[in-house]
A and B are shown apart, each in its own frame.
Chain A
Amino acid sequence: MPLWDHGLESTFSKVLAGHPAYEVTGGEVLYRGENLFDMEPEVRSRAGIFLAFQYPLEIPGVSNVDFLRVAYNSKRKHEGLEELDAFDFDDLVQQKLEVVKMKPEFLSRSVNEGFSGGEKKRNEILQMAMLEPKLAILDETDSGLDIDALRIVAGGVNELSQPDNATLLITHYQRLLDYIVPDFVHVMEGGRILTTGG
C-alpha cells in the first residue's frame, strides 16, 4: 500500500471495485439494491462501477481498440443487447475520442504501452467514456499530470457527468478542484470520514 494513502481512500476504492488483494471480512455495500460484495469484479464493472486506476496497466500486444471493444461488448451482453460490430463500434469510439482529445492513432497502439503518464490517464477516461458507468471512482487521476493533461482529463470528467450517474474523485490536491467542482466533499482519514459538506 502506498505510504501516502493515510486516509485509506485508495483501499476503499479498490475494495469497491473488487481487488483480489483485499478480503472483506464484514459489512456490505449496497449498490442499486444489491450487495456489491456478492459480485465478481467484472460483474461490478458491467453493472456500472468503474475504477480509474492510479497506475493503469500496460498490455503489450493488445490494441487499445480491441481492448475497448471486448470491454464494451461484455457490458452490452450483460445488458442483453447485441454486440456492436466493428463498423458501428468504430463510429462510437471515434466520438468518444473527442472527450479526451485523443488522436485516432491511439486506438491502434497497445493498451498503455509506452504511454506517458498523461496519456495513460486520458486512456482511463476514454474507457470510462465508452463504458458509461453509473458510479465512476477516479483514484488520484490528477497525480503526475501536467496542466494541459489535467485540463483535458477534468474536461472529460465534466462532460461525462450526467444527472443519472455519480463520480467519486479521490485527490490530495486542490488543483483538480479548480477544474471539477464537486457536489459533495468528504474528508477521510484512517479509513473514517471526518467531515462532509456540500
Chain B
Amino acid sequence: MSLQVSTISDLGIVSTASERRSACLKALLEMRSPSLAVPPWLQAHRDLAATKAQTLSIPSSRDEDWRFTDLSALVSAQFLSNTSAPFSIDLSEIKSFLIPEATHRLVFINGLYCSGLSEVADLPRGLFVGNLSAALQIESVAAALQNHWARQPEREDVFTLLNTASFNDTAVVYVEKNQEIAAPVQLLFLSLDGAGAIAAHPRGLIVAEKNSSVAVIEEYASLGFENNLCNAVTEVWLHDNAQMNHTRVQRESHAAFHMGKTVVSQARSSRYTCNVLSIGAKLSRHNLEIYQTGEQTETHLNGLTMIAGEQVGDLHSAIALTAPHGTTRQLHKCIVDDRAHAIFNGKVFVPQAAQMTDAGQLNRNLLLSPKARVDTKPQLEIVADNVRCTHGATVSQLADDEVFYLQSRGIDAESAQKLLVYAFAFEIISQIPIASLQETLAQWARRSPLEQNT
C-alpha cells in the first residue's frame, strides 16, 4: 500500500519536472529573433533547428550524458532575451580582457557583435576576421560559410540546436590555403546583465584551409557578477595539412550558467591543439568533440578545470578517429576545492578503419577538501586491432610528503598547499602559447605568497 502511494507521488514529481524541463527550453526558444538579415540558407538552418528543438527538452540526470550534471538550477532560472538589454561598453572597461599579442579580435557582448570594441583593420593577406555580415560581403568567405556553418556532426544535441535556432551573429575566422598567420586572433565573448539574467547564444566558426596555420584564443568572461546563461557553439574546420592552436578559456562569474560546445573536424595530416581552461561559472558544461576524418591526423588536448565553492564543472570530450595513423594526446586535470564538483568524461572511438592509431588519455584529479567531488569516466571504444591506446585516471589529495618538503623550508602549510596546487595547474597553463594570457592565468592560479613579492 505504502509502496503504491510513493510510486504515484514519484510519478507526479517526474511529470512536473519533465514538464518544467520542456517549458524551460520552449521559453528559451521563444526569445529568439524570428528572422535575421541573413541569406535564406542560413535562415533555413535556424528554422529547422527551432522546429527540431521544439520537440525536445532540457536533459535530466536520467540521460546518460547528463548523469552527474544536474541542470535543475538552470531549469528553474528565469532569463531575458539578449536583445532586451541595450548596453554601451567602452574599450577601457574591457581592457583587462585584451591580449596584447592578438593584433586582431572580435568582441561580442551577450552574443551581439561590438564593432567598436573589435579590431579588424589591417588584416594580413589570407586572413579574414569578422562578424557574420562582414563575412557575407566577401565572396570567398561567404562561400566558406555556406560550406561549413552548422555542417558538423552531433549538431542535433539540444543545446546546439538551441544555439543554431537562436544565434544572432557569428565570429568568423577564415584562413586561406597556404597562409601561416603569425599573430593569434582573439575571440572575446562577454556576459553582461540587463534587467535580469540574460540568455545568449554566441557562435563561432573557424576555417583553416589546406596548409594554413593559425592560433585562436576564445574566451568567455563576465563583466560583472552576471547570472546569465551563455550557450556557446564554436565550429572548427581544419583542412588537409592545416594547423591550429586553440585556447579556450571560460572564466565567467560564479553565478553564471555556461553551456559550451566546441566541435572540430580534422582532415588528413592536420594538427589541432586545444588548451581548455574552465574556471568560472556556477554550472558549466563543455562538450569538446573532435572528428579525425583523414589519415595521419594529430590531436592534442590539454584541459584544466579548477573550481571551488559550489561550482560544477563538466567536460565531456569525444575524439572519433576514422582513418589510419591518427595520433591523439589528452591530458585533463581537475582541481576541486570546497563543495565543488568536477566531471570528466573522455570518449575515444577507434573503429576498424583506424588502424595504427596512437591514442593516449590521462585524467588527473586533485581534491582539496573532504566535500569536493569528481566523477571521471575515461571511455575508450576500440575495434581496430593494430593500435596503441592508453588511458588512465587518478584522484588524489595533496601528498603529505610534498607539503612537508615546503614546510621544512619555512613555508607555512597553507601557502605550501597553494604553491603545490599552482604547480599542478601550471602543467596545463604552461601549454598556452600566448605569454600574456599564460601569465594572467598563472597569477590567478597562484593566489599564493609568491604574488606578494612580484
Contact = CB atoms under 8 A, between A and B. Distances in A.
A78 B412 CA distance: 11
B423 A60 contact: yes
Nearest to A70: B449
Nearest to A21: B400
B427 A42 contact: no
A29 to B, nearest CB: 16
Contacts, number: 97
A99 B412 CA distance: 27
B6 interface: no
Nearest to A112: B405
B411 interface: yes
Interface stretch (A45-53, A145-153, A159-167): A45-53
A89 B429 CA distance: 27
Contact of A45 (B403, B408, B420, B425): B408
B408 A18 contact: yes
Nearest to B412: A42
Contact of A71 (B409, B425, B454): B409
A15 to B, nearest CB: 12
Contacts of A21: 400-401
A131 B410 CA distance: 9
A57 B405 contact: yes
B43 interface: no
Nearest to B416: A42
Contacts of B400: 20-21
A17 B453 contact: no
Given A40-B413, A69-B453, A59 B408 contact: no
Contacts of B423: 59-62, 110
A83 interface: yes
Contacts of A42: 407-413, 416
B83 interface: no
B430 interface: yes
Interface in B2-61: none
A62 B450 contact: yes
Interface string B104-118: 000000000000000
B97 interface: no
What's the dominant secondary structure at chain A's contact region?
helix
B422 A73 contact: no
A75 B405 contact: no
A45 B409 CA distance: 6
B419 A71 contact: no
Nearest to B409: A71
Interface string A1-37: 0000000000000000111110000000000000000
A131 B430 contact: no
Contact of A19 (B404, B412, B413, B449): B404
B426 interface: yes
Contact-size category for A: 35 or more
A180 interface: no
A141 interface: no
B165 to A, nearest CB: 43
Contact of A61 (B401, B412, B425, B453): B425
Given A53-B405, A60-B423, A83-B453, A75 B410 contact: yes
Contacts of B402: 57, 59
Interface in B397-454: 400-413, 415-416, 419-420, 422-427, 429-430, 442, 449-450, 452-454
B412 A60 contact: no
Given A59-B420, A61-B425, A66-B450, A131 B409 contact: yes
Contacts of A73: 449, 453
> By CB atoms of chain A within 10 A, which of B407, B410, B425 has the most?
B410
A46 to B, nearest CB: 5
A89 B453 CA distance: 10
Contacts of A86: 453-454
B432 to A, nearest CB: 13
A73 B453 CA distance: 9
Contacts of B401: 21, 57
A10 to B, nearest CB: 13
Contacts of A131: 409-410
B398 to A, nearest CB: 11
A72 B454 CA distance: 15
Nearest to B415: A70
Q: Which of B407, B409, B423 has the most CB of A within 10 A?
A: B409
B410 A60 contact: no
Nearest to A56: B405
Contacts of B454: 66, 86
A188 to B, nearest CB: 21
A116 to B, nearest CB: 18
Contacts of A78: 410
Contacts of A18: 404, 407-408
A79 B415 CA distance: 19
Contacts of A67: 409, 419
Given A57-B401, A61-B430, 6 more contacts: A18-B408, A42-B413, A56-B405, A61-B424, A71-B409, A78-B410
6 contacts: A41-B407, A50-B408, A59-B423, A62-B422, A71-B411, A74-B411
The 10 closest A-B pairs by CB, nearest first: A61-B426, A41-B407, A74-B410, A45-B410, A71-B409, A61-B423, A57-B405, A42-B407, A20-B400, A46-B410
